[in-house]
Structure 1
Amino acid sequence: MKPTRFETAIALIDKKNSEDPNVYHSHGLDFPKELLYSQRMSQKLLQFKPNASRALQIAARAQHICRWKIGRDEYPMDRVGYLKWRETLKKMHAEITSEILEDVGYESEFIDRVSFLINKKLIKKNEESQTIEDVICLVFLDYYFEEFAAKHDDEKIIDILKKTWVKMSEEGHKEALKIKFSDKSLTLVKKAIS
C-alpha cells in the first residue's frame, strides 16, 4: 500500500532530523538529538490531544527540524542575541517543512497553516498554537528538565519554571502535574508555581 502524504511528510522530516550530528543518550542508546526530540514531540502531542489535526501533528514533528544548522554561538550571547537566534530558527524550520510539504503535494493553505504553527503565532489566542507551546513545555519537563536542573542553581531553575508555566494553558498545567518528577524537582516545581 502506498504511504499517504502525511506518512511521507513525517518520514521526510525524520530523515532530515536523523542527519543531526549531535547525539543524545537515552536508555543505553544513542540517538540523533533532534530525531529523538521530534518523536517525543509527536508522542506527547497525541497523549495530550489524541485528535490533533494533521497540520498540528506535522508542526510538532518539525518543531526543531535541522536545528543544529544554526548554532547559538552565531549570535551575541545575550537576551537579544538569543531571541534573534530563536526567530531565525523558527523561520528556517518553517521553510524546510514547507518545502517537504510542497514536494509531497500539500496545498498552499495547509502549508501556510503548518508554518503558522511552527512559528507559534498568536499563542494564548489560537488554540493549536497554544497546544504546540504546551507540548514543547511538557516535553521539556518530562524528558529534559531533570538533566537541565542538575546543571544550574535552584534560583535559576525556579525562574525558568515560572516562565515555562506562564506560557502554558490551564490544561497544560494539569498535564504537567501528572509527570513523575524526582522529589527535588517536584519541590522546585511547587515553589515556582506557588
Structure 2
Amino acid sequence: MTPFQNASQRIDAENAQDPNSEIVQSKTYPKELLYSTRMYEKLLDFFPNASQEVQIAAKAQHICRWKMPRESYTMDRIGYLKWREDLKKFHAKTTATILEECGYSQEFIDRVSFLIEKKLLKKDEETQLLEDVICLVFLEHYFDPFVHKHDREKMKNIILKTWNKMSDNGHQEALKINYSAENLELIKEALGL
C-alpha cells in the first residue's frame, strides 16, 4: 500500500466514526465520511491533476468535525469565527498526525496543513482550488437544505459570500450545477445575472 492509500484509508476510517448520519438515496452514511467523499470526487472531477497534497486536504477538510461542536462556543458572530478558526487548526493537526504515521515528509505535512488552514486564499493557487471545491460541494449538495432554513435576503448574502471566495473557473463550474428552478433564480438574483 502506498503512503497516499494508507493516509486516505486512515482519513476515511476516522470520518466513518461520525455519530451523525445523512441519508442519500435511501442509504445512510456517516456525515463527515460522505462530505469527505464528495470533496474528493468533486476535486478530481474539477481538477483531475490536483497534487496529492490538495487531494489529502480535500479528503480531510472536515476530519472528525463532530468532536468540536458549534454549540461548544458562544452562539454569536465572535463565537462562530473562533469556532471556524479553531476547527481549521484541529483538522490540520489531526491530519498531520495521520500523515506522520504514514511516513510523509515534514514538508508534505506542512503543505497539507497550510491548505487545510486555507492560508493565502486568492494568492495561492492550490488554496484557491481547495476553496473552489469547498464552495462547489456546498452549492451542489448543501445549498438546497440551507434555502429551507433561511430567508431570501440571508440566502442572497450567503450566495454572494460563497461566490466572492471562488475563482473564475469555480464560477463557471458552479453555473453548470443542476439546481432546482427556484434555487437557480435565487442565485441569479443574488449575483445580478
The bucket for the TM-score relative to the shorter chain is over 0.9
Structure 1 residues without counterparts, runs of 5 or longer: none
Task: Count how many residue pairs are aligned between Structure 1 and Structure 2.
Answer: 192
Superposed displacement of residue 152, structure 1: 1.4
- The residue type equivalent to 2:15 in the other structure is N
Residue 153 of structure 1 and its aligned partner are, at CA, apart by 1.2
What residue identity is the alignment partner of 2:98?
I
What CA distance in whole angstroms lies between the structure 1 residues aligned with 2:20 and 2:4?
Answer: 27
Identity %: 60
2:97 paired with 1:99:
yes
Task: Using structure 1 for the length normalisation, give the TM-score.
Answer: 0.98
User: 4+ runs of 1 displaced by more than 3 Å?
Assistant: none
Cα distance in 1, alignment partners of residues 94 and 73 from structure 2? 21
> What is the distance in 1 between the residues matched to 2:122 and 2:40?
21
What residue is the counterpart of 2:134 in the other structure?
136
Match among 3, 6, 12 for residue 5 of structure 1: 3
Aligned to 1:122: 120
Cα distance in structure 1, aligned partners of 2:191 and 2:133: 18
SS at match of 2:111: helix
- Measured in 2, the distance between the counterparts of 1:135 and 1:192 equals 20
TM-score by length of 2: 0.98
Distance in 2, Cα, partners of 1:192 & 1:100:
41
Aligned residue for 2:54? 56
- Partner Cα separation in structure 1 for residue 116 and residue 2 of structure 2: 22
> In the aligned structure 2, how far is the partner of 1:89 from the partner of 1:123?
17
CA distance in 2, matches of 1:123, 1:27: 35
Letter in 1 for 2:141: Y
Q: In angstroms, what is the RMSD of aligned CA positions? A: 0.6
Q: Deviations over 1:48-73 (max 9, x none)?
A: 10000000000000000000001101
Question: 162, 165, 183: which is aligned to 2:163?
Answer: 165
Aligned twin of 2:188: 190
Q: Distance in 2 between matches of 1:144 and 1:167?
A: 17
Which structure 2 segments of 5+ residues have no match? none
Report the 3-state secondary structure (helix = DSSP H, G, I; strand = E; otherwise coil) of the residue aligned with 1:96. Answer: helix
1:145 aligns with 2:143: yes
Cα deviation 1:22-76 (Å, max 9, x = unaligned): 0111111110000000000000001110000000000000000000001101111
Partners of 2:27 and 2:177 in 1: how far apart? 23
* Secondary structure at the counterpart of residue 48 of structure 2: coil
Give SS of 2:19's match. coil
Candidates 18, 30, 33, aligned match of 1:32: 30
- Higher mean alpha-carbon deviation, 167-176 vs 142-151, is at 142-151
The alignment partner of 2:187 has SS state of helix
1-structure distance, mates of 2:185, 2:156 = 10
2-structure distance, mates of 1:15, 1:9? 10
Match of 2:41 in 1: 43
Q: Deviations over 1:2-29 (max 9, x none)?
A: x110011000000000000001111111
3-state secondary structure, aligned to 1:31:
strand
Q: Distance in 2 between matches of 1:192 and 1:38?
A: 28
